[in-house]
Amino acid sequence: MRLLAVDHPLVAHKLTVLRNVRTDSPTFRRLADELVTLLAYEATRDARVADVQIDTPVAPTVGVKLSSPKPLIVPILRAGLGMLDGMTRLLPTAEVGFLGMIRDEETLLATTYARRLPDDLTGRQIYVLDPMLATGGTLAAAVDFLVERGADDITAVCLLAAPEGLRVVEQHTAELHVPVTVVTAAVDERLNEKGYIVPGLGDAGDRLYGIVD
Ligand SMILES: O=P(O)(O)OC[C@H]1O[C@H](OP(=O)(O)OP(=O)(O)O)[C@H](O)[C@@H]1O
Ligand SMILES: O=c1cc[nH]c(=O)[nH]1
Ligand SMILES: [Mg+2]
């Protein structure tokens, strides 16, 4: 597994506002969107391009365009939806698949309630969006669904990651022999006894959308 913790003052500034318990939902949504655009810039460094011949008003030249097959973006509902617009803004031609997953508050195990993905993911560049990588159970299960369909190029874009979860994902993906990159704004200290990232930002889904029982 490759880990990229983006070290940039704008990322650190926006993340600090997201972490603040006093930041309200509308501001949290806007900053999460801005932050994912900055992370997406790093996450797409290896986006595949092909040469294209164009004419500027002055002269012919060779540039590049995003090449086929189209990248696939997979937000993990619910909280990952808060990252989708920021990602599609940078990759407007990407297709979007969906995974709906929820972590049990007691056992911390993730279960899946929605799945809509293309059948064949061989050779696709896949960007999984989930703001929080905590125990790593959700991302490991998401990787399983993608690998089942032939995925071999997966990048997870997370706002925050915990060391414990990164170790789980690293071990899981090594066993699967699938290269996975995790791009995050920060690796925090640890998980608390309830499986929350410390210092973290709380429950990302609740902060984006309010509490739904
Ligand atoms: O690494 P893990 O320990 O598996 O935890 C991370 C998951 O927990 C949160 O989702 P949650 O289950 O709260 O669902 P939600 O997005 O609907 O709020 C978060 O958005 C991740 O998907
Ligand atoms: O800190 C955490 C851990 C899991 N899910 C969240 O939303 N926040
Ligand atoms: Mg949640």
Q: Which of 28, 81, 102 to mutate to test the pocket of ligand 1 (most atoms within 8 A of CB)?
A: 102
The predicted structure's pLDDT at residue 112: 98
- Condensed to tens digits (0 to 9), the pLDDT of residues 95-129 reads 999 999 999 999 999 999 999 999 999 999 999 99
Angle at 40 (CA atoms; ends 200, 163), nearest 5 degrees: 35
* Consecutive H or E run containing 129: strand 126-129
Write the DSSP string, 32-54: HHHHHHHHHHHHTTT--EEEEEE
The predicted structure's pLDDT at residue 68: 86
Is 78 annotated in a binding site? The answer is yes
The predicted structure's pLDDT at residue 211: 76
**Overall residue count recorded for the chain in this entry:** 213
Residue nearest to atom 3 of ligand 2 (CA): 196
Residue nearest to atom 20 of ligand 1 (CA): 79
56 is catalytic: no
Are residues 101 and 74 in contact, defined by beta-carbon separation less than 8 angstroms? Answer: no
Measuring CA to CA, how many Å separate 51 from each of 54, 62, 66, 70, 151?
10, 6, 9, 16, 25
Nearest ligand (C-alpha, residue 197) = 2
30 is catalytic: no
CATH 1.10.600.10 for domain 2-209: no
Amino acid at 72: L
Query: Does ipTM top 0.95?
Result: yes
Structure tokens at 91: 């990759």
Burial (CB < 10 A; 0-12, 13-18, 19+), residue 37, is middle
Q: Give domain limits for the chain.
A: 2-209
**Mean pLDDT value across the chain:** 96
Nearest ligand (C-alpha, residue 203) = 2
- 101 CA → ligand 1 middle, Å: 7
Instruction: Give the DSSP letter of residue 4.
Output: E
- Condensed to tens digits (0 to 9), the pLDDT of residues 167-213 reads 999 999 999 999 999 999 999 999 999 999 999 999 999 999 987 66
pLDDT mean over 45-71? 95
pLDDT higher than threshold 90 for residue 62: yes
Q: Which of 197, 198, 208, 209 to mutate to test the pocket of ligand 2 (most atoms within 8 A of CB)?
A: 197
The predicted structure's pLDDT at residue 212: 66
